[in-house]
């Protein structure tokens, strides 16, 4: 029979203890396998723990202006881009307003022009590749000009004749062709009814816009000259924007002075309304009246013509100081149409003046009352030609020649020369007016404001009159 073996203390034997130990180890092993999940390394298997995923860096911004800059040029091209993400919004503020810009292919570009001497704040917003938003703000300032360039736009708030160009006149030269092109690009003209035209420069301080032919009667003209931030010379910048508006008279008044035959014919809308005998500049050096298409730029009911303004001393035999009535300026060199009772005997027969058109008192008064600044006076049949700069000389050129005076469209073309006798015909207003806008302004001799004639007031001539 079998015998139960017990230890000395009556407990289980060594074999029994071993069996229990074995079961415990197996149980622990099974427990460990059941708790091990994916990616979990067991002790002693040689595997390393996985590293955590790094954070996505924020989007960064690139700008063409340096943060904190104090001398940014007003004509600087301001751009904003983004790296490591997308650019969502850009805001540029300064001078009390938000400036316009446009985003193309992920880059924002300023569409406006910065103002000189102005602080700006640039705010940029974007997201990185993880969709996290970042916002950044920088500040900068534009340079303060050493000299402020000033200018005027004429005519303004007037009714003028069909020959009057738009004039943008600077108080000093616009120094370089590139600067003149920058000025011209900022200018625009809106006309109703629509008319083709062009800007042109006859001097470095004035740009003018004229239609292809004379203005159509009753045309409405609006001029926009937003030149703030445009450079005109070394350290010289425009600091303000300007504009003008005016109306063309309801009639096309065009006069023709036949110098050789001593007669002036006045037409309105192509119909002859008056014929006057006249006496023009006598056939001596410096006195012949110039031929060419001129424009009335100033009206004075009374003025004093003093040869001293031409540099003629009082003791010179050719010196004169003459009071005249009903004077209408047609050149910068001192040519006027005016009353000349002292030469009535010569009017219609002989040229005896110092260059002006002498008229009888009643004829001069009628002409003065019926004329406007901007009316055309065409001078023919003479020996001395008008030159650009002698007066408001935009009509000395054919339209193709005038377009060649633009600083923008024909910068690489050779300069044109005036076409003798190139006098365009006045246009006729269409039945249904349209509106046109011409992008791309007036010539030597700025037009004075025309007011109804008043009783003669004694004033002196401002520039070179010749009776």
pLDDT tens readout for residues 158-179? 999 999 999 999 999 999 999 9
pLDDT tens across 91-136, in order? Answer: 999 999 999 999 999 999 999 999 999 999 999 999 999 999 999 9
Q: Cα(380)–Cα(265) distance, rounded to whole angstroms?
A: 11
Active site includes 33? no
What pairing do the DSSP bridges indicate for beta strands 147-149 and 236-238?
parallel
Share of the chain above pLDDT 70, in %: 76
What domains are defined for the chain?
60-141 (2.60.40.3780), 147-248 (2.60.40.3710), 253-416 (2.40.440.10)
pLDDT of residue 317: 84
Average pLDDT, the chain: 84
Residue 216 vs residues 253, 400, 438: alpha-carbon distances, Å: 11, 19, 16
**Contact assessment for residue 66 and residue 98, using Cβ atoms and an 8 Å cutoff:** no
Q: Exactly one of 3, 262, 338, 354 is catalytic; which is it?
A: 338
**CA-based angle 28:29:33, to the nearest 5?**
115
Q: What distance lies between CA 82 and its chain's CA centroid?
A: 32
pLDDT of residue 50: 59
Q: Cα(159)–Cα(326) distance, rounded to whole angstroms?
A: 19
pLDDT tens across 216-255, in order? Answer: 999 999 999 999 999 999 999 999 999 999 999 999 999 9
Q: What Rg do the C-alpha atoms of the chain give, in angstroms? A: 42
pLDDT tens across 374-403, in order? Answer: 999 999 999 999 999 999 999 999 999 999
Confidence of residue 286 (pLDDT cuts 50, 70, 90): confident
Q: Cα(221)–Cα(418) distance, rounded to whole angstroms?
A: 26
Residue 125 three-state SS: strand
**Contact assessment for residue 111 and residue 102, using Cβ atoms and an 8 Å cutoff:** yes
Residue 451 vs residues 160, 238, 302, 304, 448: alpha-carbon distances, Å: 11, 31, 14, 19, 9
Whether 339 shows a pLDDT value over 50: the answer reads: yes
449 CB neighbour count, 10 Å cutoff: 13
**CA-based angle 444:446:448, to the nearest 5?**
155
Query: Could you tell me which of 207, 172, 170, 238 has the C-alpha nearest to residue 409?
Result: 207
Active site includes 88? no
pLDDT of residue 432: 37
401 CB neighbour count, 10 Å cutoff: 16
pLDDT of residue 23: 40
Whether 425 shows a pLDDT value over 70: the answer reads: no
Share of the chain above pLDDT 90, in %: 73
Residue with tokens 């409405």: 220
Q: What is the mean pLDDT of residues 65-91?
A: 96
Q: Cα(162)–Cα(218) distance, rounded to whole angstroms?
A: 9
């Amino acid at each position: 029979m079998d015998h139960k073996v017990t230890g000395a203390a009556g407990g289980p034997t060594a074999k029994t203890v071993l069996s229990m130990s074995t079961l415990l180890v197996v149980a622990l092993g099974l427990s460990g396998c059941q708790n091990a999940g994916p990616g979990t390394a067991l002790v002693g298997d040689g595997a390393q723990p996985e590293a955590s995923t790094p954070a996505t860096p924020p989007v960064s911004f690139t700008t063409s202006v340096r943060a904190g800059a104090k001398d940014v040029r007003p004509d600087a091209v301001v751009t904003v881009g983004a790296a490591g993400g997308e650019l969502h919004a850009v805001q540029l503020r300064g001078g009390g307003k938000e400036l316009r810009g446009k985003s193309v292919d992920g880059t924002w570009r300023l569409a406006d022009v910065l103002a000189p001497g102005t602080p700006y704040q640039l705010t940029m917003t974007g997201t990185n590749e993880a969709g996290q938003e970042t916002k950044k703000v920088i500040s900068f300032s534009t340079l303060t000009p050493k000299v402020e360039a000033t200018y005027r736009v004429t005519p303004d708030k007037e009714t003028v004749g069909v020959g009057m160009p738009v004039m943008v006149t600077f108080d000093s030269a616009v120094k370089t062709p590139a600067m003149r092109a920058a000025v011209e690009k900022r200018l625009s003209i809106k006309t109703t009814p629509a008319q083709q035209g062009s800007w042109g420069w006859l001097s470095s301080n004035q740009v003018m816009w004229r239609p292809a032919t004379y203005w159509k009667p009753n045309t409405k003209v609006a001029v926009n000259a937003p030149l703030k931030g445009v450079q005109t010379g070394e350290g010289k910048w425009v600091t303000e924007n300007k504009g003008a508006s005016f109306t063309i008279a309801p009639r096309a008044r065009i006069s023709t002075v036949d110098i050789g035959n001593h007669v002036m014919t006045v037409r309105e809308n192509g119909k002859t309304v008056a014929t006057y005998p006249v006496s023009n500049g006598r056939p001596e050096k410096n006195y012949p009246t110039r031929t060419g298409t001129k424009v009335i730029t100033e009206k004075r009911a009374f003025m004093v013509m003093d040869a001293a303004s031409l540099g003629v001393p009082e003791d010179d035999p050719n010196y004169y100081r003459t009071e005249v009535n009903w004077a209408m300026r047609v050149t910068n060199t001192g040519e006027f149409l005016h009353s000349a009772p002292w030469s009535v005997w010569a009017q219609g027969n002989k040229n005896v003046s110092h260059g002006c058109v002498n008229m009888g008192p009643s004829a001069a008064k009628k002409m003065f009352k019926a004329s406007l600044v901007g009316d055309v006076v065409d001078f023919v049949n003479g020996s001395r030609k008008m030159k650009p700069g002698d007066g408001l000389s935009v009509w000395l050129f054919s339209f193709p020649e005038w377009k060649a005076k633009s600083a923008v469209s024909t910068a690489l073309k050779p300069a044109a020369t005036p076409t003798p006798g190139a006098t365009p015909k006045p246009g006729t207003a269409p039945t249904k007016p349209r509106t046109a806008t011409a992008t791309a302004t007036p010539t030597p001799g700025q037009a004075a404001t025309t007011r109804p004639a008043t009783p003669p007031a004694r004033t002196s001539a401002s520039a070179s009159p010749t009776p």
